Amino acid sequence: MARFASALICLALALPTCAVAQPLAEGGRSDWSIYRVADAPESVLLAAEEIQRIVRESTGAEPPIVDEPTSPMICLGDNAAAQEAGVNAEGLPDDGFRIRAVDGSVYIVGSDRRRDEIRWRGWTSRGTLYGAYEFLERVVGVRWLLPGEVGEDIPAHETLELPELDIEEQPDFPVRVMQGIQQELPEGLEDPRMVATWLNRQKMPSTQFDGWKLGWGHSWNDYISEETLAEHPEWRAIPRSQEKRWIPGRHAAVKYCTTNEEMVRAFAQGVMARLEAHPDHLSAAISPSDGGAFCMCEDCAPFVHDDPHGWPSFAPLVLRFYNDVAEIVAERFPERQLPGYVYYNYMYPPDETIEMHPNVWLVFYGLRYYGWGLAKPTYAEEFRDVVFGWSRFTDNLVYGSYTVWMRAFNGTPIPPARRILKMELPIAHEAGYRGGSMVGIAAWGYGGPANYIMAKLLWDAEEDVDALFDEWLQRAYGPGAPPMRELYTMLEQRMYDWKEAESIEYRGEQYEVNYAVIDAVYRPVFGEMERLYLDALSRAETDAQRARLQMFGDNLIKLHHDMREAGMIDEGEASHFYRTDEQYEAWLAEQRTSLSLDPHRYPIWHGEWSAN
């Protein structure tokens, strides 16, 4: 559990006090200052600026940032003044923090690291900054709903009282990643770090700007060249459906005979060369290339078993390979870590436990659960056992999810899949996973609630998903929240109904919003979506609420156009979202720098998607 103490009443004998009698601001004035050491880590300096800005915008008062301790003050960082007050960072893990009120001042102290102190790329720590954001959420009531100014909701306070404060927090998942949310922004946006800033405010690093703590991914083509393979054809796999060594059309799809000891040594040498070339990287990925075609030669075949559904599972073969490579690499690089997927046709833990090398990290991506697959009763029922099953093999576990994500390029609003979100990260945390990697929704216009909930769960897996959803809608849309909640809930149920009727046999199109999905889930209720949206828009009271609703509506403009282009609706001139072809092209050009939409543009497709 991330939260050890929450606004606890301090025992008089334990601490001088944890209550603050003097308001932080009143009537546009403040007697407080914000103290940090002038040469504090960059994240601590940013924490001071963020507190000053938010307090000013909320109250009209601007506490000065000072270089010497004063009273009363908000003291930031593990400095001498905080230590004298009995507040320090001792024992805090990366990103952990303490917030405590002592003798009329507030101390926010976290585990912090300067840039020049970071040994491994991505392994920074911003505890004080994350503590500052927690302070601002609790005390001021600010919420960061979306990236940028449009997503910031700061309540106004004539008087800003300080509650009793004795808080200690650390992340439930030390490794936290969110992908697929436009961290790499379109050209033309004024702030290229807009999404990265939002991630930091959710107590999470940005892989785009801060780097990966652990670099996982398909990597078998990274370490042995095609030229070397041409010299050693016996290193190639013999798949089940062939009698000879398999040569794929692309080297990125290469598969090896992983019981060939010479190949394993060559692969390990390639990994070590990569680590030598990147001394600031803690890890090197060793995951198989995507797709099937694993080796079934007479030496490999005994390691292939059936999974719980009777499909071939290559998990024992892949785990053996990970251990063999790790054993060799660890002789030269004993500190470096080797993340490898357990995924696709090796996603189910074998019945027989295999003790993994301590430098191997298993990164579990349940391919059959992708695209709301956990809405299918069969998969929902097995999920806990599968997640816990991998914890028999190692403590180095990352849970990765494309489960609430779907490939969607046509403005189809994808709801948050709350039933699934209540399962995934809570169960992974309970099973002891040390990392969480969630793929969010690129179209922030409708994906905001899902992205917000996932970010919160990565910090504290015990957060209430329904409460977070309702909070987001209320803070984003104000009086327009009820019809928007009805809209999201309607689509959520329709998507569940579609998925529950779908086969559990995996096909790539099952995680795509293609013609069939749009025809079944969205087209029949487009008129009701429009009615609920316009109802919400008519209730909006502020420019910010209207702007957020417009971001949602942008997607319905795109959906209306693409359905019309695909012949799924009549001309539809009466719709609020109708645009002529000329108007649509001009409108789309204006959206080039918007986060509202997924940046891709493809017509509605049939079957499995292809970029061609």
**Domain CATH number, residue 445:** 3.20.20
Domain that holds residue 100: 3-170
Do 343 and 459 lie in a common domain? Answer: yes
131 and 226 share one domain: no
Query: What whole-number distance in Å separates Cα of residue 214 and Cα of residue 207?
Result: 10
Please state the rounded mean pLDDT for residues 125-144: 98
pLDDT of residue 593: 82
- 192 assigned to some structural domain: no
Spatial separation of the C-alpha atoms in residues 584 and 395, rounded to whole Å: 52
pLDDT at residue 570 in the model: 87
For residue 193, being part of any structural domain is answered with: no
- Is 372:406 a contact under the CB 8 Å cutoff? yes
Model confidence at 7: pLDDT above 60: no
Strands 3-5 and 360-365: unpaired
Residue 197 lies in a domain: no
- Confidence band, pLDDT 50/70/90 cuts, at residue 342: very high
Q: Which of 442, 466, 490 is the C-terminal boundary of a domain? A: 466
- Strand order from edge to edge, sheet including 360-365: 175-179, 435-439, 397-401, 360-365, 338-343
Quick one: 567 exposed, middle or buried, by C-beta within 10 A (0-12, 13-18, 19+)? exposed
Query: 263 or 1, which is more confident?
Result: 263
- Asked, for residue 206, whether it belongs to a domain, the answer is no
CB 287 within 8 A of CB 218: yes
Residue 134 has pLDDT above 80, yes or no: yes
Q: Are residues 433 and 506 located together in one domain of the fold?
A: no
**What confidence tens digit (pLDDT) does each residue in 51-65 have?**
999 999 999 999 999
Are 450 and 494 part of one and the same domain? no
pLDDT at position 268 is 98
- The CA distance from 604 to 612, in Å, is 13
Whether 47 is covered by a domain: the verdict is yes
Predicted confidence at residue 19, as pLDDT, reads 64
The C-alpha atoms of residue 457 and residue 92 are separated, in whole angstroms, by: 20
| Better-scored residue on pLDDT, 188 or 263 | 263
Same domain flag for 553 and 414: no
The average pLDDT across 329-336 equals: 98
The count of domains in the chain is: 3
Are 517 and 493 in a shared domain?
Answer: yes
What digits encode the pLDDT tens for the residues 349-393?
Answer: 999 999 999 999 999 999 999 999 999 999 999 999 999 999 999
pLDDT at 246: 84
pLDDT tens string 568-611: 998 889 999 999 999 999 999 998 888 999 999 999 999 999 87
CATH code where residue 84 lies: 3.30.379.10
pTM, 2 dp: 0.95
Omega of the bond prior to 334 within 30 degrees of 0, cis?
no
* pLDDT (0 to 100) of residue 168: 98
Whether pLDDT at 5 is above 70: no
Q: How far apart (Å, rounded) are the C-alpha atoms in residues 168 and 570?
A: 58
**pLDDT at residue number 502:** 94
Q: Is the pLDDT of residue 14 over 80?
A: no
Residue 1: what pLDDT? 52
3 state SS of 29? strand
Report residue 25's pLDDT band, with 50, 70 and 90 as the boundaries.
very high
The pLDDT score that the predictor gives to residue 571 is: 82
The pLDDT score that the predictor gives to residue 180 is 95
**Same domain as 398, residue 348:** yes
Q: Which of 440, 466, 492 is the last residue of a domain?
A: 466
- Claim to verify: residue 412 and residue 530 sit in the same structural domain: no
Same-domain pairing of 394 and 425:
yes
Per-residue pLDDT for 12 more than 70?
A: no
Give residue 235's pLDDT band: very low, low, confident or very high (50, 70, 90).
very high
In a domain, 580, yes or no: yes
**46 lies in a domain?**
yes
Q: Do 458 and 553 sit in the same domain of this protein?
A: no
Domain boundary among 405, 437, 466: 466
| Confidence category of residue 10, pLDDT binned at 50, 70, 90 | very low
Clarify whether residues 112 and 43 are in a common domain. yes
Classify residue 127: in a domain, yes or no. yes
Question: What average pLDDT does this structure show over 160-175?
Answer: 96
pLDDT digit string (tens) for 459-518?
Answer: 999 999 999 999 999 999 999 999 999 999 999 999 999 999 999 998 889 999 999 999
The whole-number average pLDDT for the span 280-304 is: 96
What is the average pLDDT across 63-83? Answer: 97
Amino acid 464 reads: D
Task: Please state, rounded to an integer, the average pLDDT across all residues of the chain.
Answer: 94
Q: Quick one: 383 and 494 in the same domain?
A: no
Q: What is the pLDDT of residue 18?
A: 61
